[in-house]
Amino acid sequence: MRLIQGRAGVEAKARTRPRLTLGASAQPMATSTSPAPILKSPARAQRKCLRLGVAGGPRAPERVRAWLKSAASWLPEELERNLLLLTCELVNNSVVHGQAGERDVIEIELRATATGVRAEVTDPGPGFAPPGRERPIDEPGGWGLVLVERMAERWGVERDGRTRVWFELAGS
């Protein structure tokens, strides 16, 4: 597993996760969106981790945003806004750069931390080394990882058969 991390250096522990595979009979998630169920705070609920698997394709960021609005409602307003922005940017990157189509699954995971929240976006893409922004400042696009670098306390990219980009936001 390769690990690249911003700001705080390299994380010492490696994690292993079960790999997600779609069998021949598996169907991707429907392309329509519906409101996500209201979930309790992981601090109050027994569940300490919230997960979502969503079909890739151009509507993936919209689906994730709808889920996050309810799943992260227990967070302070500013932290929730930042989580929505950064997570949806990474999901969009999964679609655009990781080429996650409607038959691919993008996984989102949220975890409460001692100081805030950790989010992970995992896709079937080939992985990458985070580049710096090379476009002129007035050209649109290419701001996702810049925002993650500037707004997150820590962040990184891992590759273990699937590509995982994660970040941690601290509460105020």
Quick: pLDDT tens for 118-142: 999 999 988 766 666 566 556 656 6
Asked if residue 14 is part of any domain, the answer here is no
Torsion of CA 26, 60, 100, 122, to 10 degrees: -90
Cβ contact 80:132 at 8 Å: no
pLDDT digits (tens, 9 = 90+) for 83-129: 999 999 999 999 988 899 999 999 999 999 988 999 999 999 887 66
Token pair for 57: 């394709």
Q: What single letter denotes the amino acid at residue 59?
A: R
Could you tell me if residue 155 is inside a domain? yes
Domain assignment present for 20: no
What's the total number of domains in the chain?
A: 1
Residue 18 lies in a domain: no
Q: Give the predicted TM-score (pTM) of the model.
A: 0.69
The one-letter amino acid at 144: G
Spatial contact of 154 and 8, defined as CB atoms under 8 Å apart: yes
Assess if residue 103 is contained within a domain.
yes
Both tokens of 40, joined, read 């309790």
Q: Is the residue at 33 inside a domain?
A: no
Asked if residue 23 is part of any domain, the answer here is: no
Question: Whole domain around residue 64: which residue ranges?
Answer: 2-7+48-131+139-170
Q: What is the CATH number of the domain that holds 150?
A: 3.30.565.10
16 is a domain residue: no
Cα gap 132→163, rounded to integer Å:
19
Which of 112, 72, 111, 104 is CA-nearest to residue 88? 72
